Structure 1
C-alpha cells in the first residue's frame, strides 16, 4: 500500500460529494483503496483524473444535526451529515464513533444501493490495517455521513429475529429466494415491491440466526462465497447491481474486528438481508451455466480488473480475493472476469 498516494487521492475526492448525476454513488474512494491495496499504485491518479470529471461538488449543509433519528434517511441533509461526522471524528477516537453509529445505521443497510456500508467497510479496513491520518478519518466520516443520509431498511428486516433452530442454512436460503415480477425502476422502487412478494417475509427471516460471534463470522464468509458463485449464474440479469450482493456482505465482514462482538450476529442478519434483497430484485428466476473465463492467480485476476477500469469490476475483484483466501475455492476467481465481459 502506498500511503502517500492514498491520502493524496482522498484529499482530491473529499472535495466531491457522495453522489453525482442524480443518485449515482461516488465509487472513487473505494476503488482507489482497492487498487492501492493490491499494488496498482501507478494507475490510481490516471484512473482518478478521468473519474473526477464526472463528480459533483461537496453538498452544502442546511443546519446542524440535532435529532439524528429524524434526520436519518434524508438525502437533503447530506451536507449536514458529512459535517456532523467530521466533528465527531475530530472529537472522539474513530473506533468509538464507529461503535456508536454502527448499530444505529445497520438497520438501514440498503442505503445508497448498499454503497453506504460498502464505503464504510473500505474506510475501516484502511484505518485498521494502515492506521489513522486526517485524510483517512475524513473518509470514514464521509462514508458514515453518506450512509446516514441515504439510510434505508430492507423490507421485512429484523435484527433480532426469533430463534429458528430448524431454519435453513444460508446456501439453502439463498437458493430459495423469491423474485419480484416488475423489474422496472431503480433499486428504491424495487425494494418497496418486496413487501408484496409472496413468501418474501419468510425468506428474509429464513436462515438460522448466529448463536455466537464465531457463528456470525462463519456465516458472513459463507454468504460472500455463495454470492460470488451466484454471480456466475445470475450476473447476466443485471451485471452492475448484482455485484453488490457480494460487496455489501464483504464490507460487513471487514468491519467485524473493529466493532463489539455482540454486534456480529445482527451484522450478519443485516448483511444477509442486503444480499437477499439485491438478489430478489435483480437476479433472474433461473440461472445459466457458469461462463468461460480465463483462469488466473489472484494477482492476475485483480490485474485484469484494474486494466478493465470499471469501479464495480475492481471492487468485485477485491471482494472475491477475500472470498478465495477464506475458502480456497478457485471458482470465485472467475466472477470479476465475467463482470468484465458483461459491463
Structure 2
C-alpha cells in the first residue's frame, strides 16, 4: 500500500520475499553479543515498506547477520507451563523456553488474544532490551504475523526490565510534560555515569537513583496520554537528534500499533514514558523547543518523500530504516510535517 500524503510505493516483488525472509531470520535470538537488540526482523519490514527491492532485502539480511554475529537462541532449560512461566521472566537464558511457551499460547488462542491476555503482566518491564521487545511485537502486529507475536512475547519476557516500584507513590499527574519539565531542577540527575554504553543498562541504573524512583508510578493513564508523549517525543528529537530521543519517536509509533489489542493501553504508555524520562537524563535534560521554533523547522525545504525513503533504504544503519518508517507512519496519522524534517535530517539530506 502506498502512503497517504507521500510519494512512496513498495517494490512489486518485495512483499512476496519479506514473509519467508523474516520467518527464516526470525528464528535467531532477540539479541546479539553483547546484549544488543537484534533489529533485523523489524527493519526488513520497514525497508520493504519504504521501497526496498528483494535483492536489497537479501543483501541487508546477510550484512546484518554477518556484521553482528546474530546467534540462535540459547538451548532450552525446561518446558514452561501456565503455572510456572512467570518464574522465567527476566532471565535471558530462558529465551527459548519462553518463546516455546508463547508459541503454544498463540497456537491455542491466536496472537491478538495472546497479547490481550498476557501482555499486561509485562507492561512494567517495557524497558526490555531497551524497549525493543515492544518494537518486535509492534512489527509482528503490523504484519499480522502470529509466529512473530509468540517470539516477541517470549523475547519481551526474557529481557523484562522494570523500575522498582516505590513504597509510597508521589502526587499523581495526568501530564507527561509536567514530570519531564520538573526534572532539570533535580541536582542528583546531573553527572550520572554508567560504565556500560548499553541503553538498557542506563535505564536499569536510573531505577536505583532515589530522586528518579520518586517519579515512578506518578503518571496516571489518561485518554490522551499517547498523544501527549507523541508530541513531546517529536519535539525532543527535533531539538536534539539524539539516539535516545530517536527511540522515543519510534516507540510512540510502536505503542500505537499494539494499543488496539489491549484493554488498557494507556497503562502501557505510562510505563513506557518512565523509560523515556530515564533516557532524558542521559541526553542532559535539554529545554523543549518553543512553538515558534518547531513551526520554523516544519517549514524547512525538504527533498521528496521518495528521496528520503531511498536514502534510508540505502543505509546500513538499522536506526535510519526504523526512524524513517516510523516518521512517515506518524505523519500519516498526524499530518505533522516535522516528521518528514527529522527523517530527512536523520538520513543526511538536510542539515
TM band (smaller chain)? 0.7 to 0.9
Q: Please report how far the alpha carbon of residue 155 of structure 1 lies from its aligned counterpart in structure 2 after TM superposition.
A: 4.3
Check whether the contact 2:124–2:268 (CA below 8 A) recurs between aligned residues.
Answer: no
Distance change (3 Å), C-alpha of 1:208 and 1:104: closer
- Alignment partner, residue 277 of structure 1: 278
* Structure 2 counterpart of 1:63: 78
For residues 259 and 168 of structure 1, the distance between their equivalents in structure 2, rounded to whole angstroms, comes to: 20
Is contact 2:308–2:347 with CA below 8 Å preserved after alignment? no
Shift in Å, 1:72: 0.4
Match among 169, 172, 175 for residue 181 of structure 2: 175
After TM superposition, give the deviation of residue 73 of structure 1 in Å: 0.4
Closer, same or farther: CA 157–231 of 1 in aligned 2, 3 Å: farther
| Residue equivalent to 2:32 | 20
Counterpart CA distance in 2 for 1:157 and 1:303 is 47
1:245–1:155 Cα change, 3 Å: farther
Could you tell me which of 241, 249, 258 is aligned with 1:255?
Answer: 258
Tell me the CA shift for residue 139 of structure 1: 1.4
Corresponding residue for 1:130?
none
Question: Paired residues, what number?
Answer: 318
Q: Deviations over 1:81-133 (max 9, x none)?
A: 11112222222211111111110111110100111111101111111xxxxxx
Over aligned residue pairs, what C-alpha RMSD do you find?
2.9
Q: Equivalent residue for 1:231?
A: 237
Q: TM-score, normalization: structure 1?
A: 0.82
Q: Which blocks of at least 5 consecutive residues in structure 2 are unaligned?
A: 2-13
Query: What residue is the counterpart of 1:47 in the other structure?
Result: 60
CA contact (8 A) 2:237 2:246 kept: yes
Alignment check: 8 A CA contact 1:314 1:336 kept: no
Judged with a 3 Å threshold, the aligned counterparts in structure 2 of structure 1 residues 7 and 75 are, in CA distance, closer, same or farther, namely same
Q: 1:176 to 1:9 in 2, by over 3 A?
A: farther
Partner SS, residue 112 of structure 1: coil
Could you say if the C-alpha distance between residues 311 and 209 of structure 1 is closer, same or farther in structure 2, counting changes exceeding 3 Å? Answer: same
Q: List per-residue Cα deviations over 1:301-336 (Å, max 9, x = no partner).
A: 333222223111111112222332232221232323
Distance 1:193 1:49, change over 3 A: closer
Distance 1:337 1:245 in 2: 17
- Relative distance call for 1:157 and 1:107 in structure 2 (3 A) is farther
Once the 2 structures are TM-superposed, how far is the Cα of residue 38 of structure 1 from its aligned partner?
A: 2.9
Q: Distance in 2 between matches of 1:168 and 1:90?
A: 38
* Larger CA Rg, structure 1 vs 2: 2
Q: Deviation per CA, 1:39-95, whole angstroms, max 9, x where unpaired?
A: 324421221121121311233211111312211000110111111122222222111
Aligned with residue 247 of structure 2, among 244, 248, 269: 244
Q: Corresponding residue for 2:21? A: 9
Equivalent pair of 1:30/1:122 in contact (CA under 8 Å): yes
| CA deviation profile, 1:230-256 (whole Å, cap 9, x unmatched) | 113233xxx434322222232111111
Asked whether the 8 Å contact 1:157–1:273 carries over to 2, the reply is no
Q: Which residue of 2 aligns with 1:321?
A: 328
Looking at secondary structure, tell me which structure has more helix per residue.
1
Aligned residue among 326, 332, 338 for 2:345 = 338
Q: Tell me the CA shift for residue 198 of structure 1.
A: 5.7
Q: 1:79 to 1:195 in 2, by over 3 A?
A: closer
Contact kept? 1:6, 1:32, Cα under 8 Å: yes
TM-score, normalized by length of structure 2? 0.80
